[in-house]
Amino acid sequence: MTEAGVGIYIAGIYLDPLMENLDKLEERFKGLDLYAELADRLDDSFDMMNAARAYWVNAEAEPKNRARAAKDILAVWHGFDSAVQEIEFSDLNALAHTVRRCIHPSKSAKDSGLMAALAICYAVEGLREVYDYQIELSQSHITSVPKNLTGEFPDLRQVQLERARAKLVLNEINARVSHADYVGEARLAMFAAGIHHYAESRYRAPRGYRIGDKMLSAINLSRSSAGGAKGAKTNRAQATENARLICTEEGRLKRLDPHISPSEFVARLCETKNLSPPTIRKHLRSLGLYPDKKRL
């Protein structure tokens, strides 16, 4: 199932629609220069793709069912661009219907399977962004240190690699952000697949059952669960960065206008640093640069 025309082409291989050769794709990415740095994010994509295949077949599935499933997943892949454009203007409760209308799968294809296939497509597109950047990065420094010399001069190759990254820093940022965006969309599709699967397992969805409402509830629950230490760490890092920006800007504005008032200073920061007045005042007070609140 991995020849030209019957697979999902990425990173120089045709990925089996049922992810039978997913390990081969993983090995291809492990050979990239920045794999160690991006391993956790890339592994999220691979894990999601592996989980998505379970919505279509299991190890005991008959060959004809596997072939039909592979064909339907490929149909989603080939109609992916059209489906995404339609989804932009569709009701959240009609995602699976929109995909079905765009690709015309087999009658046996379930909504949960279609959403899982959509998740695979999003994950593949995210991986493609990273791979394409890595190829561009490799090509930009490969002539500096030929492969046959990398064993003799590993440090020199690393220096050349870092120089190439510096030149392509915007490309790297775009690749990372695009990958994160696609993974986010893939997660939403997997949420929808799980909720559709729940409805399908009941044989008929309860009256008033709206997939979009359930999906938003699941997203909110996931965000709440993900808060904890990781969220606190992120908040602390953001607070530290805000304080640094405010302190730097305070010094600059004081040099320009030594008599600037605290209220004028807050107004200036709101304009230049895109921070809210309460946030600015809080950090200024912590730095002793703004009057404390009056107590009754």
Query: What is the reported pLDDT for 14?
Result: 94
Those residues whose C-beta lies under 8 Å from the C-beta of residue 136, and which sit 6 or more positions away, are: 168, 171
Per-domain boundaries in the chain = 8-209, 220-287
What is the reported pLDDT for 148? 54
- Dihedral of CA 49/55/59/63: which sign? negative
8 forms bridges with which residues in the sheet? 15
| pLDDT score, position 2 | 45
End-to-end alpha carbon distance in the chain: 75
Pick from 119, 122, 96: which is nearest to 109 by CA? 96
Sign of the C-alpha dihedral, residues 62, 63, 66, 71? negative
Q: Are 269 and 249 in contact (CB under 8 A)?
A: yes
Q: Give pLDDT, residue 294.
A: 46
What was the pLDDT predicted at 71? Answer: 93
How do residues 79-89 score in pLDDT, each as one tens digit? 999 998 888 77
